Amino acid sequence: MAATDAAVQHPPGAGHQRTGGISSSLLGMVLFIASEVMFFGGLFGAYFTLRTAAPEWPPPGTPPLEDWYALILTAVLVSSSVTMQIGVFAIRRGDQRALVRWLLISLVLGLLFLAGQANEYRMLISEGLTLSSGVFGSTFFTLTGFHGAHVAGGAAFILVVLLRARSGQFTSRYHDTVEMCSYYWHFVDVVWLGLVSTIYLLSA
């Protein structure tokens, strides 16, 4: 994709790339994120529909979710968003080594989040909450599961950007891919904030 972007930014011959405004790759990323927002919108819509219709929420017999655990995960993910942005600022200044450093930290934090979530899944499943254990289990695992998959995808994206950053492919002028990656990572972060506030904090 990146090679394609480069071709678009520097078309051979008479190019009509618009001057000023947002670059095509960033615009494409923003649009893609908009569609992802609608995807999660559909899932949240289903969640609220089921929750409103249920006589009791969470349904009786549901193992309690640990708010403090979710808040730790939140702290991990939000700080990874911050470190990601510091990395973006670094490359805007042209500091390639700082970019590599901050990308690495963000990646580690992202993986830490995934490990934490996997651990929580393990605990809940052992307490009897599964995808097939009723409405609460279905919504919980579907929403957090799809978010987790997006975090994993984002982490893979960071890894690719990290490898390219190590070989010095980004400069203060050409680092659209880093920006794209950061947009996506922030989006994943925001979805998590939505999840935490609805599924965990508003569950009581």
User: Binding to other proteins by residue 12, rule CB under 8 A?
Assistant: yes
The minimum distance between CB 194 and other proteins, in angstroms, equals 14
User: Binding to other proteins by residue 160, rule CB under 8 A?
Assistant: no
User: Binding to other proteins by residue 41, rule CB under 8 A?
Assistant: yes
User: Binding to other proteins by residue 63, rule CB under 8 A?
Assistant: no
Of 34 and 71, nearer to other proteins (C-beta) is: 34
CA 27 to chain centre: 18
Question: Are the C-beta atoms of 150 and 36 separated by less than 8 Å?
Answer: yes
Segment 95-114, which members bind other proteins (CB under 8 A)? none
User: Binding to other proteins by residue 53, rule CB under 8 A?
Assistant: yes
User: Binding to other proteins by residue 8, rule CB under 8 A?
Assistant: yes
Helix 67-93 × helix 176-195 angle, to 10°: 160
User: Binding to other proteins by residue 27, rule CB under 8 A?
Assistant: yes
Q: How far apart are CA 98 and CA 92, in angstroms?
A: 11
User: Binding to other proteins by residue 174, rule CB under 8 A?
Assistant: no
Greatest distance between any 2 Cα atoms in the chain: 68
Binding string, 112-151, against other proteins, x = CB under 8 A? ------------------xxx-xx--xx--x---x-----
User: Binding to other proteins by residue 39, rule CB under 8 A?
Assistant: yes
User: Binding to other proteins by residue 10, rule CB under 8 A?
Assistant: no
User: Binding to other proteins by residue 5, rule CB under 8 A?
Assistant: yes
Q: What's the angle, vertex CA 188, arms to CA 25 and CA 39, rounded to 5?
A: 85
Chain residues that interact with other proteins, rule: CB under 8 A: 1, 4-5, 7-8, 11-18, 21-24, 27-28, 31-32, 34-43, 45-46, 49-50, 53-54, 59, 130-132, 134-135, 138-139, 142, 146
